[in-house]
Structure 1
Amino acid sequence: MAKRIKGHLIAVDQGEEILFSDFEDDGDMWSGEGPRERRKTIAFSEPFAQPPRVHCGLSMWDMDHGHNQRADLTTEEVTSDGFTVVFRTWGDTRIARVRIAWMAIGAAVDDDQWQLY
């Protein structure tokens, strides 16, 4: 679905985050089985005028080659201030580490437009 941005000010914010590293401490993404998920709340550098569109992708994953590689990456709870990234896996998949890259595009706050009430 397309999103039209009103006004002439468009903001872009981006970053990378290590979502988890479970190999060193035998965490559940590495040693567990069945449905598992990790969530991380990410704050934008500056607030957008309204919730932006957020694109998220894997920039690094370290997985055990002896098992099926299953991954689901999505964003939830997108607001003007930030969003939550959610990584899920299931079955016998063993994941040591995951880093994600993200980009948000939306209407920028216009300091010249203010509301009295």
Structure 2
Amino acid sequence: MQVINSSRIGIAQGSVDLFSDFEEGGEMWTGEGSRARSQWIAFDQQFAVPPIVHVSLTLWDMDSAHNVRADLAAENISETGFDAVFRTWKDTKVARVRISWIAIGAVTDDDDWDVT
């Protein structure tokens, strides 16, 4: 559990298309090559410390002839952003993926000051 000891809590959110491989025969759709995609998501404003980030699939377009396998994670979380990472494996074919995300954490203010 992350305890936020601040009277200033920031909440950032967004949605992003991670990839669309169907039209151009990309690796996620053909099932050959890299089976992971990563995209850096930058926050509009910086957090005081790395926030808690939740990611979820809001659109997934998968081939129905194969098993659906998916792993979605927020990695390398910092005060300025995170990597949204989608992975699949074996014979799963993915045409496109869109994710939504929310970040919650402490933020600084111009009125903050340090006496050290």
TM-score normalised over the length of structure 1: 0.94
Corresponding residue number in structure 2 for 1:47:
46
SS of equivalent residue, structure 2 residue 98: strand
State yes or no: 1:13 paired with 2:12.
yes
TM-fit CA distance, 1:45: 1.1
Percent identity between the two aligned chains: 53
Distance in 1, Cα, partners of 2:67 & 2:99 = 20
TM-fit CA distance, 1:110: 1.9
Determine if contact 2:27/2:33 at 8 Å carries over to the other structure: no
The one-letter code sitting in structure 1 at the alignment partner of 2:91 is: D
CA RMSD of the aligned region, Å? 1.5
Corresponding residue number in structure 2 for 1:32:
31
State yes or no: 1:70 paired with 2:69.
yes
- For 1:58-96, what per-residue CA distance to the aligned partner results, in whole angstroms no more than 9, with x for missing partners? 000000100110000011110000000110000100100
Corresponding residue number in structure 1 for 2:104:
105
TM-fit CA distance, 1:115: 4.0
Distance in 2, Cα, partners of 1:114 & 1:17 = 36
SS of equivalent residue, structure 1 residue 11: strand
Determine if contact 1:30/1:94 at 8 Å carries over to the other structure: yes
TM-fit CA distance, 1:116: 7.4
Distance 1:70 1:35, change over 3 A: farther
TM-fit CA distance, 1:33: 3.8
Determine if contact 1:14/1:102 at 8 Å carries over to the other structure: yes
The one-letter code sitting in structure 1 at the alignment partner of 2:37 is: R
Distance in 2, Cα, partners of 1:36 & 1:59 = 19
The one-letter code sitting in structure 1 at the alignment partner of 2:47 is: F
Distance 1:75 1:103, change over 3 A: same
Q: Which structure 2 residues correspond to residues 83-98 of structure 1 after superposition, within 5 A? A: 83-98=82-97
Structure 1 unaligned regions, length at least 5:
none
Q: How many residues align?
A: 116
